[in-house]
Amino acid sequence: MPAYAIIGGQWGDEGKGKVVDFLSGEADIVARFNGGNNAGHTVITDLGEFKFHSIPVGILRPSTTCIIGNGVVVNPDAFLEEIYSLQARSVDVSRLCISDRAHVIMPYHTMLDRLEEGIRAEGGGALGTTGMGIGPAYMDKAARTGIRMVDLLDEKALLTRLSFVLEQKNALITKLYVGEPLSLDETYEKCRVWGRELKDYIKPVEPILQEALAAGKRIILEGAQGAMLDIDHGTYPYVTSSSSTVGGACTGLGISPKHIKEIAGVYKAYTTRVGTGPLPTELNDEIGDFIRKRAWEYGTTTGRPRRCGWFDAVAARYSVDINGITSAVITRLDVLDGISPIRVCVAYRLNGEIINRFPTNASTLEACEPVYEDLPGWEKPTASARNIADLPQEAVNYVERLEQLMGCSIDVISTGPGRDEAIIVRSMF
């Protein structure tokens, strides 16, 4: 019966990969439901470090089936590259499948992402996208001009559809962006090769999930990005183009909300963001630089430096509420070792008034100043702690204060990047 959703609670990179990895040891299926290869989920095991972009991290577990859902957009070249690099490390990928309803990130999507971002940057309004074609692929999905995985398997119908779509795209590329048109022959040939290479992975995934749920198997729903990057609920327009909140897990896989038993929200013990957009607690000072350096806060996908700041409890509470988080996970507590005081944003000050609600408008959020509460830091390291009793009292107090402010129990505290470096306060299963 049960499915367990793992959702990023902030602006992405919270450590979802690590959390899904340690939970997937006891799961039958791990299914990704949103985003594309803009995601970068890091897992560290005895075999070393793995960075996953499109493939669910459960692939490292020898008997876990892995599903890429219809809510994901897939770049076949990037997907195949990920497959080959896993195979080169002796990871068995035969338990992997892609929904036939998932949309393909086409060459014109990556091209348009970069061209559009270039134009936005000229106007001073860059979004800081990853340049992976994510926005344009989801645009086509909504505009009903997307190419789906299933289309790659029907070469004749594909040619008719691609001829029509590519004409539109080339008009955009040449007339609006004054770029070079893409050749129909080359693009079609690429799609035919993809279809042949991917055919064994492409299938309807709903029956696999429904049968597993009926058989009482355990399914982990692996989210990408985070609530603050959600297309509806995030800091629009500085967001990604998919539903990274819990609703996306249902629409992105074709499962009913009634099957979701727990909704785990993953939060860093502080805050980071890559790309542009408001970040009220951002630290443009030596503490921000210290955190970035100590925690190596550089994007997994693009290598860009992540902006770092204190924990924002207003944003965290908002993401707990919109997702109905039942269980919070705090990661990277160890990064705060030795920093004192530790500040937590408990409210915002806007035009002289104190507000507790997360604002809708990015410009309003930009104008908000954080109201901080200072908590004493700790000297004794928390790194690698496995029990609450191993934590210094100040670290326990910090976690408990976050729990109060978020209005949600913190059931796991991660104290290092390794698989077993965590304190399980309450087991989700």
Would you tell me which residues interact with ligand IMO (CB under 6 A)? 8, 12-13, 35, 38-41, 127-130, 132, 134-135, 224-226, 229, 240-241, 274-275, 300
Q: Which is nearer to ligand IMO, 8 or 76 (CB)?
A: 8
- Residue 13 within binding range of ligand GDP, rule CB under 6 A: yes
Is residue 195 a contact point for Mg ion (CB under 5 A)?
A: no
Of 77, 34, 78, which Cα lies nearest the Cα of 191? 77
**Residue 223 in contact with ligand GDP, rule: CB under 6 A:** no
Nearer to ligand IMO, 195 or 252 (CB): 252
Strand partners, 138: none
Q: Which two tokens stand for residue 183?
A: 């050749």
Residue 18: name its binding partner from ligand IMO, ligand GDP, Mg ion, none (Cβ under 5 to 8 Å by kind).
ligand GDP
Peptide bond into 341 cis (omega under 30): yes
CA 55 – CA 57 distance, rounded (Å): 6
Query: Which option in ligand IMO, Mg ion, ligand GDP, none does residue 68 bind, with CB closer than 5 to 8 A by kind?
Result: none
Among 332, 346, 347, 408, binds ligand GDP (CB under 6 A): 332
Which residue is closest to ligand IMO by CB?
275
Tokens of 294: 């100590």
Q: Which is nearer to ligand IMO, 134 or 368 (CB)?
A: 134
We find the least distance from the C-beta atom of residue 307 to ligand IMO, in angstroms, to be 10
Cα–Cα distances in angstroms (integers) from residue 395 to residues 332, 337, 377, 420, 424, in the given order? 12, 9, 7, 19, 15
Residue 245 found at the interface with ligand GDP (CB under 6 A): no
Contact 108, 174 (CB under 8 A): no
User: Which residue lies nearer to Mg ion by CB, 272 or 281?
Assistant: 272
CB of 378 to ligand IMO, least distance (A): 27
Contact by Cβ (8 Å): 34, 244: yes
**Among positions 13, 113, 151, 334, the unique one binding Mg ion when judged by CB under 5 A:** 13
User: Is residue 71 within the footprint of Mg ion (CB under 5 A)?
Assistant: no
Nearer to ligand GDP among residue 16 and residue 343 (C-beta): 16
Task: Based on the shown chain and the rule CB under 6 A, indicate whether residue 292 belongs to the binding site for ligand GDP.
Answer: no
Q: Please give the Cα distance from 129 to 38 (Å, whole number).
A: 9
The nearer residue to ligand IMO, 35 or 76, going by C-beta atoms, is 35
Residue count, binding to Mg ion (CB under 5 A): 3
Which partner in Mg ion, ligand IMO, ligand GDP, none is near 128 (CB below 5 to 8 A by kind)?
A: ligand IMO
| Residue 44 binds which entry of Mg ion, ligand GDP, ligand IMO, none, CB below 5-8 Å type-dependent | ligand GDP
Query: What distance lies between CA 189 and its chain's CA centroid?
Result: 31
| Cα 300 to Cα 233: distance, rounded to the nearest angstrom | 24
Residue 129 site contact among ligand IMO, ligand GDP, Mg ion, none (CB < 5 to 8 Å, cut-off depends on kind): ligand IMO
Q: For the CB of residue 88, give the shortest distance to ligand IMO in the complex, in Å.
A: 22
16 binds ligand GDP, rule: CB under 6 A = yes
Regarding 416 and contact with ligand GDP (CB under 6 A), the answer is: yes
Q: Which of 21, 28, 41, 151 is catalytic?
A: 41
Based on the shown chain and the rule CB under 5 A, indicate whether residue 397 belongs to the binding site for Mg ion. Answer: no
Shortest distance, position 86 Cβ to ligand GDP, whole Å: 16
Q: Which does 332 bind (CB under 5 to 8 A by kind): ligand GDP, ligand IMO, Mg ion, none?
A: ligand GDP
407 — alpha (psi -120 to 50), left (phi > 0) or beta? left
Where in 287-306 is the site for Mg ion (CB under 5 A)?
300
13 in active site: yes
Query: Any contact of residue 101 with ligand GDP (CB under 6 A)?
Result: no
Between CA 381 and CA 352 the distance in angstroms is 39
Q: Which residues bind ligand GDP (CB under 6 A)?
A: 8, 12-18, 40-42, 44, 295, 300, 331-332, 334-335, 414-417
Q: Which residues bind Mg ion (CB under 5 A)?
A: 13, 40, 300
Q: Which residues are catalytic?
A: 13, 41
